[in-house]
Amino acid sequence: MKQVTVGLVQMVCDPDPQVNDQRAMTLIHQAASQGAQIVCLPELFRTPYFCQTEDYDAFALAEPIPGQSTEALQKLAQDLDIVIIASLFEKRTEGIYHNTAVVLDGRKGYLGKYRKMHIPDDPLYYEKFYFTPGDLHYQVFGSTYGRLGTLVCWDQWYPEAARLTALRGAQILFYPTAIGWHPWEKNERGKAQQEAWEIMQRSHGIANGCFVVAVNRAGWEPTPGGTGGIEFWGQSFVCAPDGQVLGRAAVDGEQVLMVRLDLTQIETQRQGWPFWRDRRIDSYQDLTRRFIDP
């Protein structure tokens, strides 16, 4: 494939998983009707972002993969002749759960899954309570419409994850995401936080000469049983191998963002900015150390 159209489904999530399932299906149909060949949903799209609290009852939301959700999305991918990337709460066995992205190809079937490697533990982002770190390493999926790398949200801050996924052959890095503002700090830090998020991912595109697709949720989600909440900042975007933003969604509200990618830009960019050629792979051994003591 030299040209491919991606559809970014920026969602506002309802408390009812069935409502979110139907909403996702509708928005995927909308993207496909506009020419999308690859459609990506935001992180944990089936529910509100339950990690705002540590709640044992939330484990009931987890599901096996493959399972009911992947079967329904796979049928849709087949009907529409597209590839769907979906982020799900995976139940691996009793007591082991993952934050997992699946890749479903309308022609090739279920291509596999990636389990989120980097797990945050911040105010209202208590993911370590729920998710075991991924153990499938970094994944690239040879889909009908290109070689796709899937990473998830917090992974986006780690250049090592983007690099290793790109080195495995990914032409496009997908980041299903759930990121937003805490209301008490938005006025002071909100602009800088959102810009850092975008700049970081654009830098992955530049450093690796590949496309980057970040798909966020949008809207206000209150903290269950408490005060406050998270204002998800939307602004899903796509950047080219030179880091230029090719499309950006709105700050709030649902939107299907359509972007056409010219995959031939990857080779041209890597020839002109030969960062891979000039890597000193003999000098990076210390990257496996937690810290280099003085």
DSSP string, 31-59: HHHTT-SEEEPPTTTTSS-GGGS--GGGG
Q: What percent of the chain has pLDDT over 90?
A: 98
Question: Which one is catalytic: 13, 40, 153, 239?
Answer: 153
Question: Which one is catalytic: 63, 90, 113, 116?
Answer: 116
Residue 161 binned pLDDT confidence (cut-offs 50, 70, 90) = very high
In this model, does residue 184 exceed pLDDT 80?
yes
Residue 27 binned pLDDT confidence (cut-offs 50, 70, 90) = very high
List, for residues 101-122, the tens digit of each pLDDT value.
Answer: 999 999 999 999 999 999 999 9
Mean pLDDT, the chain, whole residue set: 97
71 vs 65: CA distance, rounded Å: 9
List, for residues 210-264, the tens digit of each pLDDT value.
Answer: 999 999 999 999 998 777 999 999 999 999 999 999 999 999 999 999 999 999 9
Give the pLDDT confidence score for residue 225 in this predicted structure: 79
DSSP-assigned states of every residue in 99-149? EEEEEEETTTEEEEEEE------BTTB-GGGT-PPP-S-S-EEEETTEEEE
Give the pLDDT confidence score for residue 99 in this predicted structure: 98
Give the pLDDT confidence score for residue 223 in this predicted structure: 94
Give the pLDDT confidence score for residue 226 in this predicted structure: 75
List, for residues 31-79, the tens digit of each pLDDT value.
Answer: 999 999 999 999 999 999 999 999 999 999 999 999 999 999 999 999 9
Active site residue 153: yes
Active site residue 113: no
Residue ranges per structural domain of the chain: 3-288
Give the pLDDT confidence score for residue 227 in this predicted structure: 79
For the domain spanning 3-288, the CATH number is: 3.60.110.10
User: Tokens 């990121």 appear where?
Assistant: 179
Give the pLDDT confidence score for residue 231 in this predicted structure: 97
Could you list the beta-strand ranges (E) of the chain. 3-10, 38-40, 83-93, 96-105, 109-115, 140-143, 146-150, 172-176, 180-181, 211-215, 218-222, 229-233, 237-239, 245-248, 255-262
Read off the DSSP letter of residue 179.
-
What is the pTM for the complete model shown? 0.97
**What is the CA 243 to chain-centroid distance, rounded?**
18
Give the pLDDT confidence score for residue 66 in this predicted structure: 96
Give the pLDDT confidence score for residue 134 in this predicted structure: 97
Question: Which one is catalytic: 13, 40, 43, 51?
Answer: 43
Residue 1 binned pLDDT confidence (cut-offs 50, 70, 90) = confident
